[in-house]
């Protein structure tokens, strides 16, 4: 079965703490009626610090959508190669062993996709399939794993490279002062992550089953308003409550696989915020500590969008090795409202050396 190997992740060198975030918000939006609520929400995110791609002084200015997208292209090309190289090492593969590349990002736009540049830059074969995913937001990390799984099933023996580049700080809108915007300004961080799904061999999570689910009539709950100034993040107040309808979907997926979603050995879940994780623990009837990798990612990096599930998975690999056959769940949530879910077991066969 296809196997998700250990991911690699890097975060930019510039750091902003929650204390600094609160200070900047108070200065920029002093006297606004909604500011006290926004500050309370930011304090309750569980985020201690975030990494951003530019110094905070530059982040707080808006040079225009064109310039921001130019920065996105420069920084994505600067930061993705090293992460990809580490992911290939983790999978015991070389660039020419990759058959498809899935690139996920919702924080900048390029055409052709960065996949074309990566194929040329990283020495991937020129017949490598390109699968860019741009509009699934935070759910795209789970979607990428699932589409890699599907590709490997359809093309036995193939290897798929997943790359997530989320530079959320480039979407900061200094003039926006609605609650959703103010909360997102204190929640999202920047990161680049990569992982390989091997069709044969490797060490990691053996992907057995995947599924997608869209909560009906919620497509405007998480969205972008695309304006002259770029992407304006919009968040409905009902989003934190979405785990109540999604938890039964996760339970049903596990049940169809003869598993109990509340009795698995590991959980890799998107860290959209503390309410998401606490509610999912409640409705799956598990201890919140089973989401410790997601909690740690949220605390140390903030919500890094599609990169969350890859970073949380990396932390799982860093722990003591799981017993072969240990069962687990991967889930990403995002716009739609969309859930991308996967079930897998820990596999540790001896990897074949790359030819």
Active-site positions read 138
19 class by beta-carbon count within 10 Å (0-12 exposed, 13-18 middle, 19+ buried): exposed
299 class by beta-carbon count within 10 Å (0-12 exposed, 13-18 middle, 19+ buried): middle
Whole-angstrom distance, CA of residue 174 vs CA of residue 202 = 46
Token representation of residue 251: 């339970």
Whole-angstrom distance, CA of residue 331 vs CA of residue 45 = 20
Torsion of CA 288, 8, 97, 203, to 10 degrees: -50
Specify the pairing of strand 190-198 against strand 3-4: antiparallel
Instruction: State the number of CA atoms in the 13 A half-sphere of 102 facing the CB.
Output: 27
Please enumerate in sequence order all residues whose Cβ is within 8 A of that of 142, keeping only pairs 6 or more positions apart, or say none: 270, 309, 330, 331, 332, 333, 339, 340, 341, 342
DSSP 23-78: HHHHHHTTT-TTHHHHHHHHHTT---EEEESS-HHHHTS---HHHHHHHHHHHHHH
């Amino acid at each position: 079965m296809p196997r998700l190997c250990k991911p690699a992740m890097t975060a930019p060198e510039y750091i902003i703490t929650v204390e600094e975030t609160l200070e900047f918000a108070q200065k920029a939006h002093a006297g606004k009626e909604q500011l006290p609520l926004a500050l309370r929400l930011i304090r309750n995110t569980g985020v201690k610090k975030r990494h951003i791609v530019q110094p905070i002084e530059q982040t707080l200015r808006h040079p225009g959508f064109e310039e921001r997208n130019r920065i996105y292209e420069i920084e994505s090309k600067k930061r993705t190669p090293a992460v990809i190289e580490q992911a290939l090492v983790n999978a015991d593969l070389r660039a020419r062993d990759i058959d498809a590349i899935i690139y996920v990002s919702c924080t900048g736009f390029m055409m052709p996709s960065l996949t074309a540049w990566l194929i040329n830059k990283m020495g991937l074969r020129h017949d490598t399939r390109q699968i860019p995913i741009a509009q699934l937001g935070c759910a795209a990390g789970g979607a990428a794993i699932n589409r890699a799984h599907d590709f490997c099933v359809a093309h036995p023996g193939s290897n798929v490279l997943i790359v997530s580049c989320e530079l959320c700080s480039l979407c900061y809108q200094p003039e926006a002062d609605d609650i959703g915007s103010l909360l997102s300004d204190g929640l999202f961080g920047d990161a680049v992550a990569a992982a390989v799904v091997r069709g044969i061999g490797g060490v990691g999570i053996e992907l057995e089953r995947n599924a997608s689910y869209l909560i009906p009539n919620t497509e405007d709950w998480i969205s972008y308003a695309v304006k002259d100034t770029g992407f304006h993040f919009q968040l409905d107040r009902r989003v934190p409550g979405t785990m109540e309808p999604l938890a039964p979907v996760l339970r049903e997926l596990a049940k169809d696989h003869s598993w109990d979603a509340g009795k698995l050995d590991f959980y890799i879940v998107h860290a959209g915020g503390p309410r998401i994780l606490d509610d999912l623990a409640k409705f799956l009837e598990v201890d919140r500590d089973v989401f410790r990798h997601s909690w740690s990612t949220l605390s140390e990096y903030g919500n890094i969008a599609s990169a969350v599930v890859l970073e949380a998975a990396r932390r799982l690999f860093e722990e003591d090795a799981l017993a072969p056959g240990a069962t687990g769940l991967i889930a990403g949530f995002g716009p739609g409202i969309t859930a991308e879910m996967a079930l897998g077991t820990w596999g540790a066969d001896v990897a074949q050396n790359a030819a």
